[in-house]
Amino acid sequence: MNNEEEKEKRLTEEAELTADSPKVEKENEKQPTDGKTISGYALKFGQPSKDLGGFVEVITPEALKEVDLSNVFLLHNHDYSKPLASVKAGTLKLNIDDVGLHFEATLNDTSYANDVYENVSKKLLDSMSFGFVLGIDSFDKKEDGEVVRSIDKMKALNEISVVTVPAYDSSNVQVNKRSYETFMSNNQANQLNKGLESTSKAQKESKNMEKTLINNEKTEIRGYEDYIRSHGEERDGVTTVTAGAVVPTEVIGEVFDLKRSNYNLAQYATVKTVNNGQGSYPVATNNQAVLATKAELVEIGDIDADMFTAVDYKVETRAGKLYLSNEVVEDAAVNIVAEVKDQLAKLVENTDNKHIVDLLKTFTKKTAATLDDLKQLHNVALDPALDKMVILNQSGFNHLDTLKDSDGRYILQPDVTAPSGKSLFGMPVVLISDALFTNPTAGTFPMIMGDIAQSIFVARRNQVTTQWQQFEAYSQGLAVIIRNDYKTIDPNASVYIEFTPVVTPEG
């Protein structure tokens, strides 16, 4: 799985989970008994989700039409180490109907599968979740202001899971919000430019003339091909000079986008939209206080601990602008303005990434030389309750990806739930570029290990993309403005590691 195919998780609360009792072997009949089965809906079409951070979501009936369902697993709480059933093994049956994706599973005869069966039969477990890779989505803003995201196409459905927590929380819902942020940016820009982008009659005629010219050029290209193939017999749409055909100019109707790493580290942090330029974000402390023994009729004593702390923020304005000549805008065969706005959105992500990485590098610094050192940091330096992940740059990822244990198994294990497709000691690995997360020295690789959502707070005041006309220069101005702040929540929730592998001398 590459970085651009980020897996999303979603919850189905009304999953209609049921547990069927195993069939008892009939007396004097030597037929194998059927295993314990559960069934329900992994997902439902057209069912609005809860708020996923500024929008609700529905899955369209077309979303699964091109998805390969031949290698889907049934899991408990997305844990691949404890599979319950699979399509490939013949123990999981999937059926797409008018309601959604229905499943029926014959559970493995294991202790954890039996626990799941008992909990479903007693209605202690009644929700489902599913992990997928997004193909195509779209957004629509209703008259009441509600934004609805439609999942129109999925690239892959990796697993469905019986889940314990019946709520949309970080363990059951992961959303790639890039398309939502792009939609909102464009929506805001359209509102701001409502009075600026009206087209006069002369401009409309100019655009119509441009379309005519483009169509004529296409006709000319087609005519030139016919001229060549007919050895000069067909001359429609072809200009000749001294009996030689003039080769037409091709119109390219798309922008070639150079591939670069595309990720936004803010999706792993705690991001809140704030109403003021400065304020405090309350955080419940991870205190270790205990309740004191109280004698009979004695007044209850005060708790000797701070229950809450505050993360103070003060947003700063970050902005940039550029100008496009109207000649470029008018003569291009593509929507140059829209392409520039897409690039400006990438600049916002780049800004988030830089400030988050810079802040994470201020966390407690640890050094490591061996895999055992890294294991100790995972096991001892960080609280076991944290939802830990590892952020690696390309160099560090490449080094760890080539290491094997004493049994010949690679240290980085395949994990379809991880952004990079790999995990380290069970922690999902996030891979970012060397350019963003540079090596401190030659042979030393930087790493972040910890719970990013517990570590980083991003305060978002607003984000605006605007456009205006520069009549005296016959050009258009475009700008993007964001007002954000980046702060530490819990300095003990992550560690910054400089990993310098021990070099074993040859011979």
Output the DSSP codes for 129-157. EEEEEEEEEEEEE-TTS-EEEEEEEEEEE
How many whole angstroms separate alpha carbon 302 and alpha carbon 26?
Answer: 66
Q: How many CB atoms lie within 10 A of CB 456?
A: 26
Q: Which residue has the higher pLDDT, 59 or 20?
A: 59
HSE, side-chain direction, 13 A CA sphere, residue 262: 16
Q: Which residue has the higher pLDDT, 353 or 330?
A: 353
Domain ranges of the chain: 7-176, 252-286+319-507
Q: DSSP 3-state assignment of 392?
A: strand
pLDDT of 213 reads: 43
Instruction: Convert the pLDDT of each residue in 26-83 to its tens digit.
Output: 444 444 445 789 999 989 898 887 777 677 888 999 999 989 999 899 998 888 888 8
The pLDDT of residue 263 is above 80: no
Of 12-16, 48-52, 415-419, the poorest mean pLDDT is in 12-16
pLDDT of 167 reads: 42
How many whole angstroms separate alpha carbon 239 and alpha carbon 237?
Answer: 7
Give the tokens for residue 359.
């802040």
HSE, side-chain direction, 13 A CA sphere, residue 367: 8
How many whole angstroms separate alpha carbon 94 and alpha carbon 354?
Answer: 43
The pLDDT of residue 365 is above 60: yes
How many whole angstroms separate alpha carbon 57 and alpha carbon 35?
Answer: 36
Picking from 465, 466, 468, the residue whose alpha carbon sits closest to that of residue 196 is 468
Residue type present at position 81: S
